[in-house]
Each structure stands twice: as structure tokens, then as C-alpha cells.
Amino acid sequence: MTPDEEREFLRRRKARNWVVAITLLFFVVLFYAITIVRIGDPG
């Protein structure tokens, strides 16, 4: 693998990792919000 190919591979992997991290964060916030709403629900 040439240095340019390796650099591109690492750039794509880093971008994919950011997408995974943002998706996980979204689901954490979503479950937290659902939990808060359900706890606050009187019925």
C-alpha cells in the first residue's frame, strides 16, 4: 500500500468512526429522553 493509499484509508476510517460515534450518542440521548418521559408519566 502506498503512503497516499494508506493516508486515504486512515482518513476514511476516521470519518466512519465519527459516524458510528454520533449514531451511538444519538441513541443514548434518545433512550435517556424516553426514560425521562416515562418516569414523569403519571399514568
Residue 43 identity: G
Q: pLDDT digit string (tens) for 1-43?
A: 899 999 999 999 999 999 999 999 999 999 999 999 999 877 6
The enclosing H or E element of 33 equals helix 3-40
Whether residue 10 contacts residue 2, with contact meaning beta carbons closer than 8 Å, is answered with: no
How many angstroms separate the Cα of 15 from the Cα of each of 19, 40, 43? 6, 38, 44
Domain extents in the chain: 1-43
Supply the pTM of this predicted model.
0.75
Sign of the CA dihedral with 9 first, then 10, 16, and 17 last: positive
Q: pLDDT digit string (tens) for 2-13?
A: 999 999 999 999
13/24 Cα distance (integer angstroms): 16
